[in-house]
Amino acid sequence: MHITEGFLPPLHAVAWTAASLPFVFFSVYRVNRLMREKPEIKLLLAASGAFAFVISALKLPSVTGSCSHATGTGLGAILFGPSVMALLGTIVLAFQTLLLAHGGVTTLGANVFSMAIAGPWVAYAVLRSAKGLKAPLAAGVFLAAMLGDLATYLVTAGQLALAFPDPASGIVGSFLKFAGVFAPTQLPLAVVEGLLTVVIVNFLREYSGDELQNLRFLPKPLVSEARP
Amino acid sequence: MRAIDHYAWTNRWRDWHPVEKGLPAISLLVLTLILPPLTTAPLVLAGAMLTTVYGAGIPWRTLVSVLAAPLMFLLAGIPFLAISVDFASGFDLALSPEGLQLALVTALRALAAMSCLAFLILTTPLTDGVLLLRRIGIPAGVIELILLIYRLIFVFSERALTGRQAQAARLGYSRLDRSVRSLGLLGGNLFQRALEQARRLEIGLMARGYTGELRVLPPQWKPSWTRLVAGMMGVGLVGLASGWLARSLS
């Protein structure tokens, strides 16, 4: 769910950009170092970034009829880890703004915070804890993608609530308002995205386990480790 | 996506230095955000749209379709700025004049800001802007990464469309459960082929002596101060006109 250009008041746009910058800078630093150590990583990251853009542009089958798109944040966090995902997600969001007119330049910071930072970190944390609890991989992947998606949506609702507090019930009321209005599309979307991510991860484990082994952006590859 | 990229590369102002288009567009965007929207937004909207259509030669249809991109979001979000919810006594919905004003102001501001963005993305190819990122200290490697992603997006989206068509022809999207499965397989397939593409690129580049740097010939722009100053004066004019309008209306 992209916040459109000009929707946020200037102060909020600046504040969210400032909040996202440290994460993105750290990611730039880390990716740049990775690419220096292994030049071929650049091509792998480029392919992954383009993949993330294309998957997010695909229309999802939707229950409610309105057209909705996958976010790919969960999948990205599972495959590459959240610290790489901050930069890749920022690039993808910027491309969505410039090529599809989704989102905006001034709201890029807010969108990066919800989609490239909050979503991936939640997904990563969920997958980690599911692994810690010895849950089946499919369950972990499903929960990670679904909760990552939900986190993105709730953070966006929170951003809107902070920017436009309700005159009667304040920020809390406003949050419930925005969370409520987007819930009919976002809740089914999160479930569909969770299922979709499971299908993708299963497919990849079955047919390209070797490539997954090579995706060492993570300290320990979460998905490939559990190969049968 | 095709339409925006197509006009970005073929419009009348294609060969201008990106700063000549970017600086006025961003300045106008900032004006839209900081000046009172009721008087500024209509002027910005008119100015940006007329410049896009009569200056850069973008068809109205394309411009309107770009402006309509956030329509769903606005339609869902704007009414809820006008309506206020109160939980103090059960569940009360109220429509206040201030709420209506806020909704109107936000919608106008978003629309005007969108027109600045539309001007920028319809007249300036993405790669032109990316090359300027180096000036603000983004590492060269990351810029190459961005340009590679730009290139690969078009390769992959063609594959995605073809794959989707093939699946649809085999009734892969006839039911919800099938759709999820088909889309998952398509995504998995795309990723696999993306990795393959990366490996092929790597081998091809290694064979040509790749050490981590892709050397390309940057485009040669002839910067024109006249155009830049004219653009900024246009923006200044919009700002002054909106200030005058605000004063004479109040």
Q: Across the interface, do B5 and A198 touch by the CB < 8 Å criterion?
A: no
pLDDT tens across B199-234, in order?
A: 888 888 889 887 777 777 777 788 888 989 998 999
In Å, the largest CA–CA distance within chain A is 57
**Between A and B, how many CB-CB pairs are < 8 A?**
249
Phi, then psi, of A60 in degrees rounded to 5: -85, 150
Tell me which amino acid residue B77 is: G
| Nearest of A176, A115, A125 to residue A149 by alpha carbon | A115
The Cα of A68 is separated from the nearest Cα of chain B by a number of Å equal to 10
Highest mean predicted confidence (pLDDT) among A48-52, B61-65, B246-250 = B61-65
Half-sphere exposure of B34 (CA within 13 A, CB side): 9
Confidence of residue A217 (pLDDT cuts 50, 70, 90): very low
**What tokens were used for B93?**
């919905």
B67 with B126, same domain: the answer is: yes
Q: Is A162 on the interface with B (CB under 8 A)?
A: no
B59 lies in a domain? yes
Chain A partners of B32 at a C-beta cutoff of 8 Å?
Answer: 6
Residue of B nearest to A193 (CA): B180
B226 lies in a domain? no
Strands A68-69 and A59-60: antiparallel
B155 lies in a domain? yes
B95 lies in a domain? yes
Chain A partners of B138 at a C-beta cutoff of 8 Å?
Answer: 28
Question: What are the residue boundaries of the structural domains of chain A, listed by start?
Answer: 10-213
Q: Across the interface, do B211 and A39 touch by the CB < 8 Å criterion?
A: yes
**What tokens were used for A104?**
């905006």
pLDDT tens across B154-175, in order?
A: 889 889 989 989 998 998 888 8
pLDDT tens across A139-196, in order?
A: 999 999 999 989 998 999 999 889 888 877 788 888 888 888 888 878 888 888 888 8
Between A62 and A69, whose confidence is greater? A69
B96 with B163, same domain: the answer is: no
The residue segments making up the domain with residue B188 are: 139-207
- Rounded (10°) angle between helices A10-37 and B18-34: 140
Task: Report how many domains make up chain B.
Answer: 2
B216 lies in a domain? no
| Nearest of B114, B4, B120, B5 to residue B51 by alpha carbon | B120
Tell me which amino acid residue B160 is: A
Q: Is A97 on the interface with B (CB under 8 A)?
A: yes
B79 lies in a domain? yes
Helices (H), B16-139: 18-34, 37-50, 60-67, 71-77, 79-82, 97-123, 126-132
Burial of B131-141, coded b for 16+ CB within 10 Å and e otherwise, reads beeeeeebbeb
Q: Which of residues 70-89 of A touch B (CB under 8 A)?
A: 75, 79, 87
Chain B partners of A208 at a C-beta cutoff of 8 Å?
Answer: 191-192, 195
Q: Is A34 on the interface with B (CB under 8 A)?
A: no
pLDDT tens across A80-95, in order?
A: 788 888 999 999 999 9
B128 lies in a domain? yes
| Nearest of B184, B185, B186, B194 to residue B160 by alpha carbon | B186
**What tokens were used for A156?**
């966006």
Q: Nearest by CB to B33, which of A40, A106, A160?
A: A106
- Asked if pLDDT for residue A64 goes beyond 80, the answer is no
B66 with B33, same domain: the answer is: yes
B95 with B180, same domain: the answer is: no
B121 with B146, same domain: the answer is: no
| Nearest of A140, A119, A95, A121 to residue A189 by alpha carbon | A119
Q: Across the interface, do A6 and B110 touch by the CB < 8 Å criterion?
A: yes
Say how far apart CA B201 and CA B155 lie, in whole Å: 13
Q: How does the average pLDDT of chain A come out, rounded?
A: 82
Chain B partners of A186 at a C-beta cutoff of 8 Å?
Answer: none
B225 lies in a domain? no
Q: Across the interface, do A5 and B110 touch by the CB < 8 Å criterion?
A: yes
User: Using the 8-state DSSP alphabet, how is residue B217 labeled?
Assistant: -
- Is the domain A10-213 a CATH 3.40.50.2300 member? no
Strands B92-95 and B83-86: antiparallel
B82 with B173, same domain: the answer is: no
B100 with B159, same domain: the answer is: no
